[in-house]
Amino acid sequence: MVGDARRLSMPVVYLVRMVVFLILAGFCALILHRQIATAFMANPALNGLILGVLALGIVLGLRQVLRLFREARWANALLAGGSAKKIKPPVLLAPVARLFRARPLAASAPDELSLRAVLDTIGARLDESRDTARYLTGLLVFLGLLGTFWGLLETVGSIGGVINSMRGGGDAAAMFDDLKSGLSAPIGGMSISFTSSLFGLAGSLVLGFLDLQAGHAQNRFYSELEDALTALPLAATPARFEGLPPELSAALAEIAAACDPAQAKATTTALANLADGVQALAQHMRSEQQIIRDWVEEQAERNLAVKEALERLADGLKERS
């Protein structure tokens, strides 16, 4: 039975922080709903796209933390000495499930190389799960800047039209009325620029905070999982795998651990034969490399001797002449 010191904690704190932050952001939006509605109508298409990306990012951010609950429950059931069969199979910890074959720890102790390879795989999966959230955060900033340049282009074009309309001269009152009506378009372009930037930057702020909390939750989950698994009694690495590079040894050991228990002996023997073949091939390649190096050195010595002979011949010809 594994003690509570090696149990994985649930990421409740990080989920509470995310929910509280979203509630505060929603409360601020509720207070400023009239101004936000007016700003939204300046460019409904682009602002609606920004809000849609924001909603998608919020869902993904919450999902990154919520999925850790099932993974932590499965890991705690496994560390407690059970088979964890009653819990839904994990996704992030699928390599761990294959390594232990959903059996008690005492019946499937892995070796250190296999465990390290599995932990590296889980770390890579955790990093990959945050790539989409990071992209959405950058996408919100991009959409805000897109609205900014869009509005500036409309503003510059509208100001040019106003200046052209004033070149014809005429009645001052009529020109003043044309100027007032013409300035409405540049002001509208500036509203598109500022409102899109407002929505984009505010959305990136929200997603950035959620991604920060999700990253903290995943880092804590990985650290606790690493501490719990490395504290287990591990099996020794097969002796016939020790002469190989660490990466190849870990891969072969992981394959051996993931095989069917009924065929474990045959699979281990086959992998050991494969390891012997790879090691023999590596030795053969090293011997060929040594032969090539010796041949290159020999050729270099011959070239040096030919060079010295040519130099002596040239000196002799100079003396005779």
d(C-alpha 175, C-alpha 282), whole Å = 88
- pLDDT band of residue 193 (cuts 50, 70, 90) is low
Mean per-residue pLDDT over the chain, rounded: 75
Confidence band (pLDDT; 50, 70, 90) for 31?
very high
Phi, psi for 111 (deg, rounded to 5): -90, 170
Please report where in the chains the tokens 């190096």 appear, as a residue. Answer: 293
Radius of gyration of the chain (CA): 35
- What pLDDT is recorded for position 1? 42
Outline where 80-130 has alpha helix (H).
94-100, 112-129
Helices and strands counted in the chain (H then E): 10, 0
Q: What is the pLDDT of residue 47?
A: 87
Helix (H) or strand (E) holding 153: helix 131-165
Q: Both tokens of residue 233?
A: 């009694």
Confidence of residue 320 (pLDDT cuts 50, 70, 90): confident
pLDDT (mean) for 219-237: 75
Quick one: pLDDT at residue 75? 82
What average pLDDT does the segment 106-133 reach? 74
Task: Calculate mean pLDDT across residues 300-315.
Answer: 80
Q: Which of 103-117, 273-287, 291-305 has the lowest mean pLDDT?
A: 103-117
Average pLDDT over residues 278-304: 79
Which range of 57-61, 236-240, 253-257, 310-314 scores highest in mean pLDDT? It is 57-61
pLDDT at 232 over 90: no
Encoding tokens for residue 293? 């190096």
pLDDT at 114: 67
Q: What is the pLDDT of residue 93?
A: 79
pLDDT at 102: 44
Average pLDDT over residues 161-171: 56
Q: For the residues 28-43, what does the mean pLDDT come to?
A: 86
User: Residue 34: is its pLDDT beyond 60?
Assistant: yes
Backbone angles phi, psi at 169, to 5 degrees: 75, -155
Contacts of 2 (CB under 8 A, 6+ apart): 79, 80, 81, 105, 228
At 272, the pLDDT band (50, 70, 90 cuts) reads low
Q: Please tell me the predicted confidence (pLDDT) of residue 3.
A: 44
Q: For 144, list phi and psi in degrees, rounded to 5.
A: -65, -45
Model pLDDT, residue 148: 79
At 139, the pLDDT band (50, 70, 90 cuts) reads very high
- Assign 284 a pLDDT band (cuts: 50, 70, 90): confident
Taking residues 306-311, report their average pLDDT: 79
How crowded is residue 173: how many other Cβ atoms within 10 Å of its Cβ? 8
**Is the confidence at residue 264, as pLDDT, over 60?**
no
